[in-house]
Amino acid sequence: MADIVMPQLGESVTEGTITRWFKSVGEEVTEDEPLFEVSTDKVDTEVPAPSSGVLLEILVEEGDVVEVGELLARMDREGVTAAPVAEAAPQPEPQPEPAPQPEPTPEPGPAQAPVAEPIPAPTPAPAPAGATTGLLLSPLVRKLIDENGLDPASITGTGVGGRITRGDVLSVIDGRGGQVPPAATAAAAVAPDAAPAAKVAAPAVQPMTHGSGDRVEGLNRIRKVTGDAMLYSKSTSPHVISVVRVDYSAIERARLPRRAAFKAETGSSLTYLPFITRAVVDALREFPHMNASVGDGEVVLHNDVHMAVAVDLNYEGLLAPVIREAHAMRLRAIADEIHDLADRARNRRLGPDELSGGTFTISNSGAYGSFMVAPIINQPQVAILSTDGVSRTPVAVSDDFGDEAIAIHPVGNLTLSWDHRAFDGAYAAAFMSRVRQIVETRDWDSEF
């Protein structure tokens, strides 16, 4: 007999929601295959089975919120093929529904006057801090409710089983003119020390109509969280973009001869991304205000470079897992780490701690041939770089004697979105110039 308990998914995670069981009672389980899925405020994670056997009992249903260490299920490690099915716990007797109250009948009179519409009940007054005690809420949601003096009973939960989510709380706060930052998908947001903006009445919006062939899809959790984070970022940071045009000929001379061998050895393609990441990491060491976070009236300059790399989840959302201590890695190690994180992100194998603590972010749109993408800053960082498409482009070149000619080189844009609170345009331009110089002049063969 083996107990299956809620694992510790990250240092800051104390509970999670069981969103799916991949096995039923009586089914055989193979070690390391997905057993259940847990949803936290940071990420959805598939938890593998710790050993092989037969699932004897499931003690926590889908949609239940459980704390770290809580017993979830029991499994027979001996692998008995005909495991007894545990009897379900008796369900409490349903409470009888109250009898419907008759509608009040107006007094008869010579001429019946129209009955007035009922006056809506006033919004309940905010509850004092601590009103969430005893409720099944995530630590972040509980904190938001308590800090803003909200009444949990007045918040309609849209999460699994009607659970109140962070988006539900933020909608209520926004409705009364409050300004509270949602946590970013890849890093915890830091609220600025600023007065809330004046409330502007939203224009009237016509209700959306659907045609006979339309299909309605609800926004998934990642899209909702990402949307909240991006809205907060745009309202917090004064975004500015800087773009440089980069010649990738030096990278091509090192990349092309090694592509086939690299693919055969690692199973992944040798793209431009690890080269660009390596160049950015080196430039960040020379421009420390780029490798920074904005706090409460201050800028924190980070000593280490923890590089977040945006990963597309098959067009269903976006995550930005973090390469820890990227400043200590050479090109091959960076390439391996990018491939590993991207693969585990798409297969829901990332832990929450792997999505936090980034100090700079790279978004790789270039694989789709984009000309220029202006990304939104991943709060509380001060900058994010977008790689754009590389194409064969005519460029002017000169030889050692100063004679010029037209040549065809691989050329593409790099676009930086940056926070004007942290530095000015000259600093951003100098940083981008240094990145371009590293890309165009480094001896990339030495990296291998």
- Give 178-193 pLDDT, tens digit per residue: 443 433 333 333 333 3
Residue spans of the domains in the chain: they are: 2-76, 223-447
Confirm if 182 and 166 have CB atoms less than 8 A apart. Answer: yes
Nearest to 285 by CA among 66, 404, 438: 438
32, 420, 443, 445: the active-site residue? 420
Q: Which residues, in sequence order, are bridge partners of residue 390? A: 412
Q: Write the DSSP symbol of residue 227.
A: H
Instruction: Sort strands 360-364 and 307-309 into parallel, antiparallel or unpaired.
Output: parallel
Q: How buried is 18 (Cβ within 10 angstroms: 0-12 exposed, 13-18 middle, 19+ buried)?
A: buried
312 given a catalytic annotation: no
247 given a catalytic annotation: no
Q: Which residues, in sequence order, are bridge partners of residue 322? A: 308
What one-character-per-residue DSSP string does 101-147 give?
A: PPPPPPPP-SSPPPPPPPPPPPPPPPPPTTTTTTS---HHHHHHHHH
Instruction: Sort strands 383-398 and 360-364 into parallel, antiparallel or unpaired.
Output: parallel
CATH topology of domain 223-447: Chloramphenicol Acetyltransferase (3.30.559)
Confirm if 385 and 358 have CB atoms less than 8 A apart. Answer: no
What one-character-per-residue DSSP string does 346-405 give?
A: HTT---GGGGS--SEEEEE-GGGT-S---PPP-TTBSEEEEEEEEEEEEEEEE-TTS-EE
Rounded-to-integer distance, Cα 324 and Cα 337, Å:
9
Instruction: Sort strands 65-67 and 383-398 into parallel, antiparallel or unpaired.
Output: unpaired
Q: Write the DSSP symbol of residue 201.
A: P
CA separation, residue 145 to residues 80, 87, 133, 170, 172 (Å): 48, 39, 11, 9, 10
Read off the pLDDT of residues 328-369 as tens digits, 9 standing for 90 and up: 999 999 999 999 999 999 888 888 788 889 999 999 988 888
As given in the structure block, the two tokens for residue 80 are 């008995």
Confirm if 351 and 47 have CB atoms less than 8 A apart. Answer: no
CA separation, residue 81 to residues 22, 55, 85, 110, 353 (Å): 18, 10, 12, 80, 38
3, 32, 304, 424: the active-site residue? 424
Helix, strand or coil for residue 203?
A: coil
For 2-76, give the CATH class: mainly beta
Give the residue ranges of the chain where pLDDT is below 50: 80-89, 102-129, 160, 178-200
Model confidence, pTM: 0.63
